[in-house]
Chains A and B, each alone.
Chain A
Amino acid sequence: MPLSVPEWLVSAGNARQLAEGLGLTALIALVSAAASMLLGTAFGFVLAARHPAVRAVGRIYLEAVRIVPLVVLLYLAYYVASAELGLNASNVTTSIVVFTVWGTGEFGDVVRGAVTSIPRHQYESAQALGLSTTSTYLRVIVPQSVRRVAPAAINLVTRMIKTTSLCAFISVAEVMTVGRQIVSVANQSFQHPQAPFVVYAVVMVLYFLLCWPISRGAQRLERVWAT
């Protein structure tokens, strides 16, 4: 008597494995997103710098991480850089580093957009009041920029979550890889011909449940903080 599909999904540790995979997906995404926001904020000021040479270096970095597909970057980092440099970094660490390198560029561009979109008179008024450059940024520019950046920052998290599925290329056991493994075991046992349909549908729903609320939150913020 073969198990019904829902029974089979919960049996043999399948559900537990999927949950663990989803945990790893969330971990990689959150760590990468947090690191990208920290470094990206600094990078945003590089992109908005007064000195043209500084800006040019920033732009080159941004274009470089934007133009090469992330799968290719992951591959190069894992199979070439790690090997050549003898780093021996784990595939999870490699993923986080690559996503942070990419996310820093993306988030930096968002920060640049926010910083440069603040009207000039805000800077000038602050100076007229006798605020130092540091105070001008800390008390006037940054608080206004945060509002403009917030929705994009939240969207970066969902993009990171979706991007983690690429880690399957370097065998990280995130939720996509777990799904594939469950399907291949099911295919070998010939018990559940509808396994791929069910498992990939479940994985799709899991991603959706993770990303959709965050996307909605970003939309809400955008409406509330519309400037």
Chain B
Amino acid sequence: MNWHIVADYVPQYGRAVLVVLRLAAIAIAGSLAVGIAAALVRHHRVPGAARLVAVYVEVSRNTPSMVQLYFLYFGLPLVGVKADGFTCAAVGLVFLGGSYMAEALRSGLEAVRKGQLDAAASLGLSPRQTLLRVTLPQAFAVALPALTANAIFLVKETSIVSVIAVVDLMALTQNLVSMFYTSNEAYLLLVASYLVILLPLSVALRLLERRVRHASFGS
């Protein structure tokens, strides 16, 4: 282990960490948006759309993200859709994460008691107010552990985007190993970089879960 080399590599790993963080942030935010929409469509059994969403969820959850990324990156240009690796990775991860978030939120929505809706109706809340102020907050509280698990899952899932030419931590490591044979230093920084991203995130999400627990009525 040559610590001079390690020190030399730190800035490059810092940049790759930022790539992973940017990608993960887009993936998590996009997945939540897709997940909320998909969960509501399925929960309220919107005619036509519910079936479509069900197909999307089944395909997304029963195929590996690696294949989804390849299909987007190498397959879509042939039907005239061109996008760079980073965009494909973001779209692919949202496609994957959206279905996981949808399933988590759907079980959260199902856990909201009917009495809550009756109470909202008797207070004269509009359907929109009921959704935003009663149903969704409670569904989120119940689904939170699953949502945070999905968030961590998505960050880890970014580790395969080097296969579609995104220069992430894996790609950087492969380059440094194959060009300079500095494998020990590169692998050490690879593991350290993921820990720097994932440990604080996992602790922060756990604290968030603890704070929100009181909202789920002890269930």
Contacts and interface: CB of A to CB of B under 8 A. Distances in A.
Interface of A: 66-72, 75-76, 79-80, 158, 162-166, 168-169, 176, 179-180, 183, 193-194, 196-197, 200-201, 203-204, 207-208, 211-212, 215
Given A67-B202, A76-B191, A197 B75 contact: yes
Interface of B: 58-59, 61-68, 70-71, 74-76, 78-79, 152, 156-157, 159-160, 163, 170, 173, 177, 183-184, 187, 190-191, 194-195, 198-199, 202
B60 to A, nearest CB: 10
Contacts, number: 102
B195 A67 contact: yes
12 contacts: A67-B152, A67-B194, A67-B195, A69-B194, A72-B170, A79-B177, A79-B187, A162-B62, A197-B79, A208-B63, A212-B58, A215-B58
Nearest to B72: A200
A149 to B, nearest CB: 18
B66 A165 contact: yes
Tell me the interface secondary structure of chain B in the complex.
Answer: helix
B62 A215 contact: yes
Contacts of A204: 59, 63, 67-68, 71
A67 B156 CA distance: 8
A68 B194 contact: yes
For the complex of A and B, 10 pairs with smallest distance between CB atoms: A196-B74, A69-B159, A165-B64, A197-B75, A211-B62, A162-B64, A165-B66, A69-B156, A200-B71, A212-B62
Nearest to A183: B74
Nearest to B159: A69
A69 B198 CA distance: 10
Contacts of A80: 183-184, 187
Contacts of A180: 70
A161 B197 CA distance: 27
Nearest to B202: A67
A79 B63 contact: no
A88 B101 CA distance: 41
Nearest to A25: B64
A193 B77 CA distance: 10
B194 A76 contact: no
Contacts of B64: 162-165, 176, 207
A64 B35 CA distance: 28
Contacts of A208: 58-59, 62-63
B199 A162 contact: no
Nearest to B169: A72
Given A165-B66, A208-B58, 11 more contacts: A67-B199, A69-B156, A69-B194, A72-B194, A75-B170, A166-B66, A176-B66, A179-B70, A193-B78, A208-B62, A215-B61
